[in-house]
Structure 1
Amino acid sequence: MTLHTRLKCISTAIAIVAFSLLSAMAHASCVSVLASEPDYQAATALAFPSPAAENEFRRALSEQAGLNLEEARIFFDCLKIAAMHDDGDTLSQLIRYPLRTHLSKREIIIRTPAAFKKTYPMIFDAKVKHAIETQRFEDLFVSYRGLMVGSGQVWISGIVDPTSGKTTIKIIAINN
């Protein structure tokens, strides 16, 4: 094994351990992240292969999806941590309603957070959770529709409030 490969393995291991340790603290902060607390530090370590790749991802986020890198990263951390902790309450706050879901090849519209909480175990099945937990932020697919987690299990987009013009990041679709 080359020195470069060893260093990369060590770096990855450190990032995994750091994320595991920080996830308990970040989970407690997840609700405050939704309220845009400025003291939150993103738990996901970015591993772009080069500064050019990071700039390209940042540009795609901005131009195609209309999202800010740091805000999208914080949202992604909240999603990942809430899914890992099976926190349906926090996940319900990350969703734009009505939510389109595809369960067992049929579309279901979830209209309220209460309806989401009732159907949470069916919506966030093992396939969806696995897609979220294994997805790396810098490997998200970016398009004009937003960010795609996994192979389309979760779609995230910026929702613009027509009165204020402010963009809020939300889950817009879940497919399992």
Structure 2
Amino acid sequence: MKAWIPVLVMVLLAACKPAAEPQPESAPASTAPAGTAAAPAAPEPIAQTHGGAAAPTPAAAGEVDDHTGVNQRIGQLLGDATRYETAILAFQQAVAQKDAATVAAMIDFPFRTTVGGKPATIKDAPEFIAQYGRIVTPEMTDVIVRQRYSELFVNGKGVMFGGGEAWINGICVDQACSSFNVRVVALQPTR
């Protein structure tokens, strides 16, 4: 195999960006030390669907959902891919089980989202749990649960599910961003 082919594949993958991405409200990822993620506030809600694309379908029985490519991209852009993979899979499982407390524990508060079609700021976990069914709608649940790991979109702003219904990113623990926690930074309807 020619040495330039993997580079070409990475360039082509990098060119595949969604039509609508959330915009961070704080410092860009470039201000974080190499290998760590910036601490963006929750992205603004997105009004349109990502190119009208349907949510990815789950892997068929016996089919392997290869995490390698996504984990490489996470490692390059966001930091420790193992920490992201653990958080992503736990998030999907908690949403599938409608476990509001576990999802709330993964959120960076205060949290801007949409409740009943209107923008809202959720101040803490108890408020999120009380509003869970109005925030994580059945449609959003379906997109998050059906999302194939190998088809996650990754950029400097985080990891995107579906057409932007959910985003996960690293939140710096200290000023130097020497450590970070992987958190849900956006839950937003796109339809």
Shift of 1:59: 3.4
> 2:146 is matched with which residue?
134
Q: CA RMSD in A?
A: 2.0
1:155 matches 2:167? yes
Question: Deviation at 1:82?
Answer: 0.7
How many residue pairs align between the two structures?
Answer: 130
Return the offset for 1:13: 1.1
Match of 1:166 in 2: 179
Structure 2 residue identity aligned to 1:158: G
Runs of 4+ displaced beyond 4 Å: none
Once the two structures are superposed, residues 22-51 of structure 1 have per-residue CA deviations (whole angstroms, 9 ceiling, x without a partner) of xxxxxxxxxxxxxxxxxxxxxxx6426xxx
Q: Report the secondary structure of 1:148's partner residue.
A: strand
Kindly report which structure 2 residues correspond to 1:1-176, keeping only aligned pairs within 5 A, or say none.
12-14=60-62, 46-47=65-66, 54-55=68-69, 57-64=70-77, 66-162=78-174, 165-176=178-189
The higher-RCO structure (CA 8 Å, 6+ apart) is 2
Contact 1:135–1:150, Cα closer than 8 Å, also in 2:
yes
Distance 2:79 2:133 in 1: 29
Q: Which runs of 5+ in 2 are unaligned?
A: 1-58
| Contact 1:72 1:169 (8 Å CA) reproduced | yes
Aligned equivalents of 1:104, 1:91: Cα separation in 2: 19
- Scaled by the length of structure 2, what TM-score is found? 0.62
> What is the one-letter code of the residue matched to 1:150?
G
Partners of 1:101 and 1:107 within 8 A in 2: yes
Distance 2:96 2:157 in 1: 25
**Counterpart secondary structure, 2:83:** helix
On the 8 A contact 1:101/1:173 being kept in 2, the answer is yes
Amino acid across the alignment from 2:107: I
Q: How far apart are 1:104 and its partner, in Å?
A: 4.9
The C-alpha deviation readout for 1:39-79, integer Å capped at 9, x for no partner, is xxxxxx6426xxxxx35x33321232x13222211111111
- Structure 1: any 5+ residue segments left out of the alignment? 1-10, 16-44, 49-53
Cα 1:115/1:137, change in 2 over 3 Å? same
Q: Which amino acid aligns with 1:128?
A: M
Structure number with the higher helix fraction is 1
TM-score by length of 1: 0.67
1:60/1:142 contact within 8 Å kept? yes
Give the C-alpha shift of residue 105 in structure 1: 4.5
| Identity value in percent | 21
